């Protein structure tokens, strides 16, 4: 795979200089050395799109006044 602007492992857009590895005569592009190692050892892939979905499902937005109320209520016996 050539310089496409995306990591081959996580499919994130490249923001910094990519890590380019040549394996068995083919050029591979990764965003970090960590992604290269995950790819090299065949760790199951999670795509950038999947990470965004997971983050969206697991995160909630709490305003500061609401957070103070939640903390006080959770400390109550």
Kindly state the tokens that stand for 21.
């590895």
Query: Is 38 within the bounds of a domain?
Result: yes
Residue 12 inside a domain? The answer is no
Structural domains of the chain, count: 1
Give the pair of three-digit tokens for residue 14.
């490249």
Kindly state whether residue 5 falls inside one of the protein's structural domains: no
* Domain range enclosing 57: 19-75
- The pLDDT, as a whole number, for residue 38 is 87
Q: Does 49 fall in a domain?
A: yes
Strand partners, 13: 6
Residue 47 has pLDDT above 60, yes or no: yes
Please state, for a pLDDT cut of 70, what percent of the chain lies above it.
Answer: 69
Distance CA 53, CA 66 (A): 25
Establish if 69 belongs to a structural domain: yes
pLDDT confidence tier of residue 60, bands split at 50, 70 and 90? low
pLDDT tens-digit profile of 4-36? 789 998 888 898 899 999 988 999 999 999 889
Residue 14 inside a domain? The answer is no
3-state SS assignment for residue 49: helix
């Amino acid at each position: 795979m050539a310089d496409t602007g995306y990591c081959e492992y996580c499919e994130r857009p490249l923001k910094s200089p990519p890590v380019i590895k040549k394996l068995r005569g083919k050029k591979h592009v990764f965003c970090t050395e960590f992604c290269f190692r995950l790819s090299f050892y065949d760790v199951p892939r999670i795509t950038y799109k999947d990470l965004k979905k997971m983050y969206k499902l697991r995160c909630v937005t709490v305003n500061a006044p609401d957070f103070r109320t939640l903390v006080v209520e959770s400390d109550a016996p």
